[in-house]
Amino acid sequence: MNLLHMKYAVEISKTGSISKASENLYVAQPNLSRSLKELEAELGIEIFDRTSKGMKLTPKGEIFIHYAKNVLQQVEDMSKIKNDGKKAKQIFSISVPRASYIADAFAKFTNCLSEDSADIYYMETNPRRIIHNIVDAGYKLGILRYAIKFEKFYTELLEERGLSSKNLAEFKYQVIMSRNHPLAGKKNLKQSDLHDYIEITHGDPYVPSLPKELLLKEEDKVTSARRIFLFERGGQFDVLMENTNTFMWVSPLPKKLLKRYNLVQKTCTDNTRIYKDVIIFRKDYILSELDMKFIEELRDSKEKCF
């Protein structure tokens, strides 16, 4: 019997909905439905009654779910025990774009770590490195950011690399600047207003395999002749706070961060470019309990910032 199918059935029983279970497990609904049918065929019973109000356990289904929960718990307990009797070390690893709503989620996520030993890896980097880290460097999760107009390219690239993706957020970049910036109080801000000021930008905006001419075309969003390239996100905020003639394009920021660095966040009325953040992982990877806890914090942070 497939333990993964068993896990799917338990999640469906918990949520009472295939669509909700699909969202929680980050598994496509058709795949989840197919797995459930295969499990029911193998058992020779119907685990759920499909009703207009959702998925309701049948009497035999209730018995199966009871045993399934026990089996999954025993498997989890066994996986935590080494030969010396100690629990296995918790591992969490993710590569992400430099985004404050993601960093905010990660900071809150660290509060959920138990007293067991743990290794946590969190890297802010560019799209090329994010994909490399998952495919070749053993990272479990990644968050990939790209312009919507390049979605077809990225969909094909992820398929080629054996990676799954799940939508996280769509947004337009905002402009942040010091509260003392000359444009801080301007209404109906336009991109041309930024030309005489200094733009701060990431130092490594490399895209894997994207034709150079397309990357250069995307860079036409540059709104200033003077730019400072910074790799480290904290340093970017320090310069924004210190130099009141600087600005930066960012995904929406948490309010507490704007307050901490004395910044304002503004929308350019003529900015039409839409970007997308997606969670990526290997197709054969099953999200861990830590992964799910981080994704929960990520969703909460996104809702507050966006």
Is residue 165 domain-shared with residue 183, that is, in the same domain? no
What's the pLDDT at 154? 92
Per the structure, how many domains does the chain have?
3
Give a yes or no: residue 209 inside a domain.
yes
What's the pLDDT at 113? 84
CATH number at residue 43: 1.10.10.10
What's the pLDDT at 85? 57
What's the pLDDT at 70? 85
Is residue 263 domain-shared with residue 281, that is, in the same domain? no
Is residue 177 domain-shared with residue 269, that is, in the same domain? yes
> Could you give the residue ranges of the DSSP H alpha helices within 161-288?
212-218, 233-242, 255-260
Report if pTM > 0.85.
no
Q: What is the 3-state secondary structure (H, E, C) of 48-64?
A: EEEECCEEEECHHHHHH
Is residue 155 domain-shared with residue 282, that is, in the same domain? yes
Compute the distance between CA of residue 273 and CA of residue 194 in angstroms, rounded to an integer: 17
Is residue 240 domain-shared with residue 269, that is, in the same domain? yes
What's the pLDDT at 219? 47
What does the pLDDT look like over 29-74, one tens digit per residue?
Answer: 888 898 899 999 999 999 999 888 889 999 999 999 988 888 888 7
Is residue 8 domain-shared with residue 52, that is, in the same domain? yes
Is residue 241 domain-shared with residue 286, that is, in the same domain? no
Whole-number percent of the chain with pLDDT over 90:
63
**Which of 28, 55, 79 marks a domain boundary?**
79
Give a yes or no: residue 116 inside a domain.
yes
Structural domain containing residue 24: 3-79
Give a yes or no: residue 106 inside a domain.
yes
Extract the tokens encoding 67. 């045993």
Is residue 118 domain-shared with residue 165, that is, in the same domain? yes
CATH number at residue 211: 3.40.190.10
User: Do 243 and 198 touch, CB atoms closer than 8 A?
Assistant: yes
Pairing of strands 90-96, 141-147: parallel
What's the pLDDT at 87? 63
**Which of 48, 79, 110 marks a domain boundary?**
79
Is residue 40 domain-shared with residue 53, that is, in the same domain? yes
What does the pLDDT look like over 181-204, one tens digit per residue?
Answer: 999 999 999 999 999 999 999 876
Give a yes or no: residue 225 inside a domain.
yes
What's the pLDDT at 212? 47
Low pLDDT (below 70) residues in the chain: 79-88, 204-222
Is residue 181 domain-shared with residue 262, that is, in the same domain? yes
**Which of 31, 58, 79 marks a domain boundary?**
79
Is residue 161 domain-shared with residue 140, that is, in the same domain? yes
Give a yes or no: residue 114 inside a domain.
yes
Alpha-carbon distance values, 189 to 192, 226, 252, 273 (Å): 9, 19, 16, 16
Is residue 8 domain-shared with residue 74, that is, in the same domain? yes
